[in-house]
């Protein structure tokens, strides 16, 4: 097998090796059909079974009650920035948005094209280095929903405890931390996640929507933008992203085999702690870019205090087979994305390189 590198990409990102091997092994004949998964009909019994199993896998791992439908849509998480308000923000109502990074800013921009938006809190003035505290939230009584981004992929912050909004449903973009930890689905009216981090390859967005919120899009809503279309069609109104769904199923099997979300979360916690400890214990050589109580377990952002050494560090990381560590252009520095499929050995290799580099340049 060709050598595989330590992949710290923010998304598309590392996927579990057993899932990739399974794709390779059955790529020419999906479940004995004599056709590849990219050749079978989405209306075939085999694909229908796969869709049901994927649903069951997500329901079991995330504890999704029957009151919620699961959809597999195209258009990325970015399309959900529009679909969420089109479907849930009724005329004359207000949606609260919590701005914690570029992805929430984009969600706000799209929602404001659809209806009334209240930015209930924002940490933009602090360069998004933290998640707002509960007492900072200016929530609107009777809002249609409260939107948040559970993990801020670019800045490296993550909600530890989701805000309390009473009977107002939460809506969350969970693109970069879904399946990384257990959480209670019940306060949420809608959860969406582009697959290309913890779920599978790019091309599919998983949407989990409370059924009673579906069917309220205004008249004239384009068919494809109405959740009702996809709930009624069981994600088969049009041709779904078949291959991406197939890979989600394989990734769900892997998560189950790891011991489920509790086990995966514990491992994610250990991985993140190892790296943050290396940063914090470097005597200021490396520095985290976010407040400690807001730090993400998925995307660890850091800089070198002597920024002139950044290029050399990037070069050495690259030469050592540590890939995808460049920080987002709006933050700079470095970002190690530690999604589920990134193993402890990858983090150990990164920490070892950081130590070596620090000693050499101290
Ligand atoms: C939190 C978050 N939301 C939304 C997006 C945009 O997703 P997509 O490219 O699937 O539209 C990303 C992409 O990285 C993301 O990290």
pLDDT above 90 for 220: yes
CB of residue 176 inside a 6 A radius of ligand 1: yes
Tokens of 341: 């499929």
Predicted pLDDT at 362: 86
d(CA 157, CA 100): 8
Predicted pLDDT at 2: 56
Predicted pLDDT at 195: 98
Close Cβ partners of 170 (under 8 Å, ≥ 6 residues apart): 145, 146, 147, 148, 162, 163, 187, 188, 189
CA distances from 129 to 156, 280, 285, 301, 302 (A): 8, 16, 19, 10, 12
Catalytic residue among 96, 103, 249, 254: 103
- Tell me if residue 103 is catalytic: yes
Q: Output DSSP code: residue 188.
A: E
pLDDT tens figures, 105-129: 999 999 999 999 999 999 999 999 9
State the distance from the centre of ligand 1 to the C-alpha of 352, rounded, in angstroms: 30
Domains identified in the chain and CATH numbers: 17-257 (3.40.640.10), 258-361 (3.90.1150.10)
Radius of gyration from C-alpha coordinates of the chain: 21
d(CA 171, CA 208): 10
- Residue in 11, 2, 4 with CA at minimum distance from that of residue 201: 11
pLDDT above 60 for 48: yes
Tokens of 208: 């989990």
pLDDT tens figures, 138-178: 999 999 999 999 999 999 999 999 999 999 999 999 999 99
Catalytic residue among 55, 96, 173, 177: 173
Which residues are bridge partners to 99 per DSSP?
A: 122
């Amino acid at each position: 097998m060709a050598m595989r590198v330590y992949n710290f990409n923010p998304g598309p990102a590392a996927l579990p090796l057993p899932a990739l091997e399974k794709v390779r092994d059955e790529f020419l004949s999906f479940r004995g059909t004599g056709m590849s998964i990219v050749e079978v009909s989405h209306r075939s019994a085999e694909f229908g079974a796969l869709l049901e199993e994927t649903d069951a896998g997500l329901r079991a791992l995330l504890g999704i009650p029957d009151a919620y439908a699961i959809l597999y849509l195209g258009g990325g998480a970015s399309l959900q920035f529009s679909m969420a308000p089109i479907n849930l923000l009724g005329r004359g109502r207000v949606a609260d948005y919590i701005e914690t990074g570029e992805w929430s800013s984009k969600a706000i921009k799209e929602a404001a094209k659809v209806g009334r938006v209240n930015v209930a809190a924002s940490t933009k003035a602090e360069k998004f280095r933290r998640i707002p505290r509960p007492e900072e939230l200016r929530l609107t009584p009777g809002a249609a929903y409260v939107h948040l981004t559970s993990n801020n992929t670019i800045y490296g912050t993550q909600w530890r405890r989701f805000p309390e909004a009473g009977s107002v449903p939460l809506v969350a973009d969970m693109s970069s931390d879904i399946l990384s930890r257990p959480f209670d689905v019940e306060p949420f009216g809608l959860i969406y996640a582009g697959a290309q981090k913890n779920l599978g390859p790019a091309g599919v967005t998983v949407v989990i929507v409370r059924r009673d919120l579906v069917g309220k899009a205004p008249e004239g809503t384009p068919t494809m933008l109405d959740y009702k279309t996809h709930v009624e069609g069981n994600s088969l109104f049009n041709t779904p992203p078949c291959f991406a769904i197939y890979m989600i199923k394989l990734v769900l099997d892997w998560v189950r085999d790891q011991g489920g979300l509790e086990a995966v979360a514990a491992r994610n916690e250990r991985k993140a702690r190892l790296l943050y400890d290396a940063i914090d214990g470097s005597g200021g050589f490396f520095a985290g870019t976010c407040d400690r109580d807001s730090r993400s377990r998925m995307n660890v952002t850091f800089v070198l205090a002597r920024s002139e050494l950044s290029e050399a560090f990037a070069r050495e990381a690259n030469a050592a087979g540590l890939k995808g560590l460049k920080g987002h252009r709006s933050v700079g520095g470095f970002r190690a994305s530690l999604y589920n499929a990134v193993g402890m050995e990858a983090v150990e290799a990164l920490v070892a390189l950081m130590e070596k580099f620090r000693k050499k340049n101290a």
